Amino acid sequence: MTQQIRNEYLKSRKIYGSPKITQELRKQGIRVSQKTVARIMSEEGLRSITVRKFKATTNSNHPYNVYSNLLKQNFQATVPNEVWMADITYIPTDEGWLYLLSTIDLYTRKIVGWYIDIRMTKELVIKTLQRALNNEKPTERVIHYSDCGSQYASNDYQQLLQEHHFQVSMSRRGNCYDNACIESFHSLIKKECI
């Protein structure tokens, strides 16, 4: 029993506690009480690692220009490459946090660009935008929608957006619903990672 509990604990990347391990063992047809699992875990020194539910990815306190919210939660597009939504999320790994930036086409719901890095810098957003431009090569003016974080508002990033004739739109501070489409996509990725 101890080995089976240890296996489930390690399979969960040390995240599961006794309730979830009990549930997993019961799915396999192993009859065991949560009390027994908790006792064995305690004896073996197996403690669940708590994953923080929230890690800030937006620093809105910066000296850069913040642009108007053109979408106002109207997540409709009529053609591809009309609106691109960008967002940064964090992914917990065994080596520490990784930051993923994804850019999604609002019409096709296709990820047009993405990049992962160990730091959340303007280079992360620049590299992602360059990938998206290489992948899609839009011919019409695209609305670039993001939060109002310092990475997106930085002079270098805004200059790149201007060079490619983007119309800039930013969500309101502290309103995750303004970026719901890409937040939803990132929540699916995080479920797979945990």
**Beta strands 111-117; 143-146: pairing state:** unpaired
Asked if residue 22 and residue 93 are part of one domain, the reply reads no
Number of structural domains, the chain? 2
Asked if residue 36 and residue 94 are part of one domain, the reply reads no
Is the residue at 49 inside a domain? Answer: no
Is the residue at 69 inside a domain? Answer: no
Is the residue at 23 inside a domain? Answer: yes
Is the residue at 131 inside a domain? Answer: yes
Domain that holds residue 87: 83-193
Question: Dihedral through CA 170, CA 175, CA 176, CA 178, nearest 10?
Answer: -50
Q: Print the SS3 string covering 27-95.
A: HCCCCCCHHHHHHHHHHHCCCCCCCCCCCCCCCCCCCCCCCCCCCCCCCCCCCCCCEEEEEEEEEEECC
Is the residue at 57 inside a domain? Answer: no
Is the residue at 117 inside a domain? Answer: yes
Task: Go through 14-28 and write b for each residue having 16 or more CB atoms within 10 A of its CB, e for each that does not.
Answer: eebbbebbbebbeee
**Per-residue model confidence as pLDDT tens for the chain (194 residues):** 999 999 999 888 888 899 999 999 999 999 999 999 999 999 999 988 765 544 555 556 666 778 888 887 777 888 999 999 999 888 877 777 888 899 999 999 999 999 999 888 889 999 999 999 999 999 899 999 988 888 889 999 999 999 999 999 988 765 555 666 677 776 777 666 55
pLDDT at site 50: 61
Asked if residue 180 and residue 95 are part of one domain, the reply reads yes
Is the residue at 63 inside a domain? Answer: no
What is this structure's pTM? 0.64
CATH code, 185: 3.30.420.10
pLDDT at site 74: 77
